[in-house]
């Protein structure tokens, strides 16, 4: 693509940091791991941060640490990357979906209470596209029913809700560092929490179930290899030292898009609540209801033919084939989510986009509309 959909913000400093690690014997479980964790914990304001191999593995480990078992239920949103629901399936639990707010595109917090059953154990809100879910309402519901909150902040590093950082608002939060995220480590993620017991368990489970002080071949519980190498952590350390610059560049690109599309009546954007500060992850627009999903798909293909990277973002989780097969979901089950998913277009978005490239994207989009 002439204009890429996404691109990591990597400089010579990250390359030098990787090279430095390669000149040491500490490629895994070395000093860079603890240093990276300390950077994230300080940034988010939590007592603990645990680096893991991906945001997906972080969500999974947190649910295990929260005691999720077969037959339990985890309430979440159908408008997300599929991992936020799959993590419940990994443990034999059922993801229970609640439809979304049509303005913010986050889970409709006011509808969560109606989805709670005696099997509900965890509320798993997703901070969609860098906007934090309505956490005050979610916390009130969780406290009333004695439920954990697992905050999926994989798309929201740097966002705040009433001044509190993403990831710090639940019992645990998870970030993802895939190359299209605000910061990247290539592959990787981070669990943040203030809960001593959750922290102890995820530390153990990410490293084959070992507890502190145990030998390499001793295992206190079922665990996994969810470690993040010092090579990845070295990249993350430099990214965190540059995070204000990285987020600032992404914000600047978002402002260019907003200025050019604000008066375009055929599209709308995600609403940013007044008590939230967005951390820009993607630039997703919604075509208005006059457009069908097929017309949306045609526009995406036409943009690609012109060298503009773009995609739909997201398909509804409940209509993924294996969810339909396993749970019998069908169109109409979550109509607000489905109407949005039929009409989303993710436009090119990263911090290195030029204003001229944004002009080109917006003009091509207008022409196709």
239-248 per-position pLDDT tens digit: 999 999 999 9
pTM score of the predicted model: 0.98
Instruction: For residue 211, give every residue at least 6 positions away whose Cβ sits within 8 Å of its Cβ, in sequence order, or none.
Output: 200, 204, 220
Q: What is the mean pLDDT of residues 84-109?
A: 98
Q: What is the mean pLDDT of residues 255-260?
A: 98
Quick one: angle between helices 243-261 and 355-368, nearest 10?
40
Domain 243-368 has CATH 3.90.1150.10: yes
Query: Alpha carbon of 177 to those of 69, 168, 268, 288: distances in Å?
Result: 28, 17, 28, 32
Q: What is the mean pLDDT of residues 228-242?
A: 98
The pLDDT assigned to 250 comes to 98
From the number of C-beta atoms within 10 Å of its C-beta (0-12, 13-18, 19+), residue 250 rates as buried
Name the CATH topology of 12-241: 3.40.640
337-353 per-position pLDDT tens digit: 999 999 999 999 999 99
Residue 18 near residue 235 (C-beta atoms within 8 A): yes
Using alpha carbons, select from 131, 162, 175, 167 the residue that is nearest to residue 278. 131
pLDDT of 213 over the 90 cut: no
Domains 12-241 and 243-368 alike in fold = no
pLDDT of 362 over the 90 cut: yes
Instruction: For residue 3, give every residue at least 6 positions away whose Cβ sits within 8 Å of its Cβ, in sequence order, or none.
Output: 307, 308, 309, 348, 353, 357, 360, 361
110-163 per-position pLDDT tens digit: 999 999 999 999 999 999 999 999 999 999 999 999 999 999 999 999 999 999
Residue 205 near residue 222 (C-beta atoms within 8 A): yes
Residue 252 near residue 308 (C-beta atoms within 8 A): no
Residue ranges of domains in the chain: 12-241, 243-368
Q: How big is the chain, counted in residues?
A: 369
Q: Quote the longest CA-to-CA distance of the chain.
A: 64
């Amino acid at each position: 693509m002439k204009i890429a959909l996404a691109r990591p913000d990597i400089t010579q400093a990250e390359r030098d940091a990787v090279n430095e690690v390669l000149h040491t014997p500490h490629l895994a479980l070395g000093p860079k791991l603890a240093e990276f964790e300390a950077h994230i914990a300080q940034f988010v304001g939590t007592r603990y941060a645990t680096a893991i191999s991906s945001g997906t593995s972080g969500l999974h480990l947190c649910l295990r640490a929260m005691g999720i078992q077969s037959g339990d239920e985890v309430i979440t949103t159908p408008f997300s990357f599929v991992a936020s629901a799959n993590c419940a399936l990994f443990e034999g639990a059922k993801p229970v979906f609640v439809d979304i707010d049509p303005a913010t595109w986050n889970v409709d917090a006011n509808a969560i209470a109606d989805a709670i059953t005696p099997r509900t154990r965890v509320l798993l809100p997703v901070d969609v596209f860098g906007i934090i879910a309505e956490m005050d309402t979610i916390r009130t519901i969780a406290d009333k029913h004695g439920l954990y909150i697992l905050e999926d902040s994989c798309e929201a590093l740097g966002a705040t809700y009433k001044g509190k950082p993403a990831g710090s608002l639940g019992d645990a939060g998870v970030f993802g560092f895939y190359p299209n995220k605000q910061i990247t480590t290539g592959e990787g993620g981070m669990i943040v929490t203030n809960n001593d017991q959750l922290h102890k368990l995820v530390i153990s489970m990410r490293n084959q179930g070992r507890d502190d002080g145990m030998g390499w071949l001793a295992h206190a519980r079922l665990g996994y290899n969810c470690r993040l190498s010092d090579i990845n952590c070295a990249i993350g350390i430099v990214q965190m030292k540059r995070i204000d610059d990285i987020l600032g560049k992404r914000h600047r690109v978002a402002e260019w898009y907003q200025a050019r599309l604000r008066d375009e009546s055929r599209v709308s954007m995600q609403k940013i609540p007044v008590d939230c500060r967005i951390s820009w992850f993607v630039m997703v627009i919604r075509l208005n209801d006059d457009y069908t999903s097929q017309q949306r798909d045609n526009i995406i293909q036409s943009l690609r033919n012109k060298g503009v990277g773009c995609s739909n973002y997201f398909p509804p989780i409940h209509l993924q084939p294996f969810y339909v097969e396993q749970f019998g979901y069908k169109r109409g089950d979550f109509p607000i989510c489905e109407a949005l998913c039929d009409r989303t277009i993710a436009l090119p978005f990263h911090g290195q986009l030029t204003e001229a490239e944004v002009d080109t994207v917006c003009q091509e989009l207008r022409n196709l509309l």
